Structure 1
Amino acid sequence: MLLVAFCFTTSCVSNKKIAYFQDIQTVNQAQLENATKFTEPIIQPDDILSINVFTLNPQSGAIVNQAASNTVLGGGANTAVASQQVTGFLVDRNGEVELSLIGKVKVAGLTTFQARELIREKAAIVYKEPNVQLRFANFKVSVLGEVNSPSTYTLPNEKVSILDALSLAGDLTIYGKRENVLIVRDNNGKKEFARLDLNSSEIFNSPYYYLRQNDVVYVEPNKRKVSASNSAQIQTVGVIASVVSVIVLAISSFK
């Protein structure tokens, strides 16, 4: 009877701990209009950039676009973390990328838009009316803890919110602590930590709502997960005790 009661109490989870943005009906439009705006991420050393220079002569442009393949960790939706080859230009420790015929270009500290304009200006010295496309080739975030598909995700664009990352990871499990999601961010060599409450619409005002390159999202287990683990241990101990009892009785019957 006590076991049944224990299982019943651990299986009940309040809707207040599961539903997202519970106060959204009380938030007016003006508050939402003041939500955090997306800011472009800054290029840093060890980033890999996809850079393509288009010219009037496709063959000459192809020389500039000869990028190297770099091995990075990254997965996609419903995939495990694995090494994969990413083609692009590595930003060296001096913050520079080296392009054929154009030379070294300092891009660290710039946004992708600023870096694109800078490379276009330098390419214009060599080529007539060049067009440049530039984006991150290894923009990745890691999602760990109580989600359905924890992994490191390499993303095709740099505008990624916490909700996007959790969606890629298959959403939180029933055991995920929605009111205390941890964000770990590396900012100029220093670690930053922030907590987000998915139950509240205040998440849209957080400077951590939009993720940055190499952010780690960690979802803690709630009390129900701990209780479920304890219950599983109790059941395991009970099974072992029953087996031992049967063995003892069997041995006793042969004496």
Structure 2
Amino acid sequence: MLSGVITLLVTSCSAPKNITYFKDVPDTIRQKGIQQAAYATPLIQADDILQITIQTLDPTATSMLNQSGASVPVAGGTAAAPVATSVSGYLVDKDGYVVLPLIGKITVQGKTTDSVREEIKTIAATYYKDPVVNVRFANFKITVLGEVNKPSTYVMPNEKVTLLDALGAAGDLTIYGKRENILLIRDNNGKKEFVRLNLNESNIFSSPYFFLRQGDVVYVEPNKSKVSSTDLSQVKRISIMASVLSLLIVVVSRINF
């Protein structure tokens, strides 16, 4: 009885309070305008995988160009199926190049997919009439860890990915996720950049970190309620082990007597 009362007191004292997103948005019909952060198109880096297609009026003429390069293993899978998988595309080598059939060797590192598309289109136009070129990331991956329902590495379907997109792919935060202190880890020119974000406030939409970059890691810290429940479980296990040990000592002492 006493242990039940203690359990109730511990869990009620540690009940999460900040579980609502964007709490500062008024609960009325009045609209609140929020300036969204400017989106910066990501730049292609070494080891990226690009999906490049060239289409013309004669599909057979460009069939060799659209072999999609090599199949490259990628950890994590897709947002719909977070498992290990592989993607097909052209791997950017250490020097920042990709090699396309007929088109040849092209420098892509430090460029956007839009600029690479125009460059390839210009070259392809010398061989084909009115070619249509598409260039996109095939391995735009984001890792979501911690108190989410499906922690994993996700290959996103496009390059314009927000923090909410990543959390949605991971099945949203659990009730134990610390919404006011989301940690974003980003590689920035060879250094690790650590940023804290607050989902309780609507100004997160104007944060320069609202749009994610390739390779970002999002970590959701557990709140006090989760820590308390974990500690309580450990106390219960220790109590059970102590009771069993005490019982064994009594039994052994009586047998020896």
TM (normalized to structure 2)? 0.91
Structure 2 residue identity aligned to 1:59: T
Structure 1 unaligned spans of 5+: none
Q: Give the match for residue 113 of structure 1.
A: 114
Q: How has the CA–CA distance of structure 1 residues 9 and 172 changed in structure 2, closer, same or farther, with 3 Å as cutoff?
A: farther
- Give the Å deviation of 1:38: 2.3
Q: Give the letter for the 1:121 counterpart.
A: T
Q: Is 1:141 the equivalent of 2:109?
A: no
Superposed displacement of residue 214, structure 1: 0.5
Match of 2:37, SS? Answer: coil
CA shift for structure 1 position 3: 3.5
Instruction: Measure how far apart 1:76 and its partner are.
Output: 3.3
Q: 1:11 — aligned with what?
A: 11
Structure 1 length-normalised TM: 0.92
Tell me the distance in 2 between the aligned counterparts of 1:229 and 1:172. Answer: 18
Provide the C-alpha distance between the structure 2 equivalents of 1:144 and 1:15, rounded to a whole number of angstroms: 20
Amino acid at match of 1:225: K
Partner of 1:70: 72
CA 1:153–1:181 in structure 2 vs 1: closer, same or farther (change >3 Å)?
same
Give how far 1:240 is off. 0.6
Structure 2: stretches of 5+ with no match in the other structure: none
Provide Cα deviations, 1:123-152, integer angstroms capped at 9, x if missing partner: 112222111011110011000011111100
Query: AA paired with 1:244?
Result: L
- Show structure 1 runs of 4+ deviating over 6 A: none
Alpha-carbon distance, 1:75 to partner? 2.6
SS in structure 1 opposite 2:51? Answer: strand
Secondary structure, aligned partner of 2:38: coil
2:197–2:204: 8 Å Cα contact kept in structure 1?
yes
Structure 2 counterpart of 1:251, which letter?
V
- The equivalent of 1:234 in structure 2 is 235
CA offset digits 1:141-183 (Å, max 9, x no partner)? 0000111111000111111111111111111112211111000
The question of whether the paired residues in 2 share the 8 Å contact of 1:101 and 1:126 is answered with no
Q: Which amino acid aligns with 2:239?
A: G
Return 12-21 or 115-124, whichever deviates more. 12-21
Would you say how many aligned residue pairs link Structure 1 and Structure 2? 253
Instruction: Tell me the SS of whatever aligns to 1:232.
Output: helix
RMSD, aligned CA = 2.0
